[in-house]
Structure 1
Amino acid sequence: MQNKIKDSLIELQNKPLQIQNKTFHSRLMLGTGKYKNLKDAQKSIYTSNTEIVTVAIRRAQKAKILGKSNLIDGLNWKKLWLLPNTAGCETSEEAIRIASLGREMAKRLGQTDNSFIKLEVISDTQYLLPDPIGTLKAAEYLIRKKFTVLPYISPDPILAKQLEEIGCSTIMPLGSPIGSGQGLQNILNLKIIIENAKIPVIIDAGIGTASEANQAMELGASGVLLNTAVAKSLHPEYMAKAMKLGVISGRIAYLAGRMNINKQAEPSSPKHDISYQ
């Protein structure tokens, strides 16, 4: 019986993450900003075993114009899937324009069928909180243009459901503000979003260490996207490995199902013998 349960858990853990018509075996996604150097970024991405790497289109375009070293040119895109993002866009119109550049970028890397876009519309310059109205407006347009839209939002269950209903391929609620390392600050809302969703829910932003990535997965999230926690750690490659293991163990713990929380203690050695079947 125990072997059957073990085999079932392994089968569930190995079940790929499905986003639209694309499957992924890793549930950890990494960003490409804030690294000290190209070498740290490359090693971290390789060590994490991630399959999805998100790149800020505006930053990549600027680096190209200035002739600076570009991480895009230093990665093997035959093994990685590009997730362009619209970071830095303050309006829906700007995000739509940048998304089109992202699709062209993917094609130039040989991913001709890649229409993924991480949609960010952020007009709040202090806390970098996403604009719900601008995000919804841009998502509607991009979906009509056959983009696979992964919107970044505050943990708002109503907005999450609206975005799912108009055709978004995942929901990406923040754990806490971008780059803050505060961990998961609104667990109740995240739980509601996960419970209500029929599409993958990826916790994005605010995760600072592996235990928080683990916690996100234990809630039932389909995956985790992070950047600063790895890029700004003392040893990015080690942190990338820790994040990989945190996501895997959190996923397995979620599938296993935690014990009930009791108000009183319960002895681990019962008074009467238990016969195992």
Structure 2
Amino acid sequence: MKNSNKLIIYGQEFSSRLLIGSALYPSLDVMKAAIVKSESEIVTVSLRRQNPENNGGNIFWQELQSLGLTLLPNTAGCHSMKEVVNLAKMSRELFQTDWIKLELIGDEYNLQPDPMNLVAAADILLKDGFKVLPYCTDDLVICRRLADCGCEVIMPWGSPIGTGQGLANPQALSAIRHRLPDTTLIIDAGLGLPSHAVHAFELGYDAILLNSAIAQATDPITMASAFSYACKAGRAGYLAGRMPERQVAQPSTPIMGMPFWHQD
């Protein structure tokens, strides 16, 4: 993924490496303006929070669709494989997409994904023709199992969702990147500052997914712009390659005799 100029998700190319959520904004106008300012091309939607099938949130859906972006339905709020599969099928029918962000919560305290059933749920959905983007913890074994069952994209958290703590375990995230060099990896959840986004890209991650960090900022529109710049800076810095770390100071201009302007 290092030399690709585009973000690739199941064969589809995108210029932006920022995926953005559509919840928690103070108004529809702010949501639309923030999404536009972020330059994101992919926006996540939750069927359980807004139900267009029952004429719920029609204005919301109309405003979101007017942006002309790629929709990524998610299974937020699901606690069982049955819920996940049913909601995914409803989303596919309503949104006419086989993309699904797989969320299967195992603990309400920190909203940690269920490690026991996540892989099994992904396998069921993949066999049913879905393109699955699973949200998981920073556990290398879980990520490898998801990749082995056919997930071309995996989305480990930076820290628990909604905390804004940044990358709590960069060593674990680095190990995932190292062991899954050909998998598209997206940091999903826990980022709160643009600097957190830069950190994620510096570890070699391909993209980030945000919601709370932008929607709950004092100024969501300006924060969306800040994260857009952070994604570009972090990715460019990663591609450029960092200087070697050293244990001692080293002058940036080595002393080699007298300055050329010296006169006796």
Shorter-normalised TM-score: what interval? over 0.9
Aligned residues: 255
Supply the distance in 2 between the matched residues of 1:67 and 1:57 (Cα, whole angstroms).
10
Which of 29, 32, 37 is 2:19 aligned to?
Answer: 29
Would you say the 8 A contact 2:198–2:234 is kept in 1?
yes
Aligned to 2:71: 82
Q: Which runs of 4+ in 1 moved over 6 A?
A: none
Supply the distance in 1 between the matched residues of 2:123 and 2:163 (Cα, whole angstroms).
29
Q: How does 1:107-256 map to 2 (within 5 A)?
A: 107=96, 114-197=97-180, 198-256=182-240
Distance 1:182 1:70, change over 3 A: farther
> RMSD across aligned C-alpha pairs, in angstroms?
1.7
Which of 56, 75, 78 is 2:46 aligned to?
Answer: 56
User: SS in structure 2 opposite 1:271?
Assistant: coil
Aligned to 1:257: 241
* CA displacement at 1:66 relative to structure 2: 6.9
Bigger share in strand: 2
* Matched AA of 1:268: S
Instruction: State the TM-score, normalizing by the size of structure 2.
Output: 0.92
User: SS in structure 2 opposite 1:203?
Assistant: strand
Supply the distance in 2 between the matched residues of 1:232 and 1:27 (Cα, whole angstroms).
21
Q: Alignment identity in percent?
A: 40
Q: Does 2:60 match 1:71?
A: yes
In structure 2, runs of 5+ residues without a counterpart are 258-264
List per-residue Cα deviations over 1:201-249 (Å, max 9, x = no partner).
Answer: 0000000010101110111000000100000001000000000000110
Supply the distance in 1 between the matched residues of 2:190 and 2:242 (Cα, whole angstroms).
25
Aligned to 1:111: none
User: SS in structure 2 opposite 1:117?
Assistant: strand
Supply the distance in 1 between the matched residues of 2:53 and 2:150 (Cα, whole angstroms).
33
Instruction: State the TM-score, normalizing by the size of structure 1.
Output: 0.88
Distance 1:59 1:52, change over 3 A: same
User: SS in structure 2 opposite 1:188?
Assistant: helix
Aligned to 1:92: 81
Supply the distance in 1 between the matched residues of 2:203 and 2:25 (Cα, whole angstroms).
29
- Give 1 or 2 for the bigger CA radius of gyration: 2
Bigger share in helix: 1
User: SS in structure 2 opposite 1:260?
Assistant: coil
User: SS in structure 2 opposite 1:185?
Assistant: coil
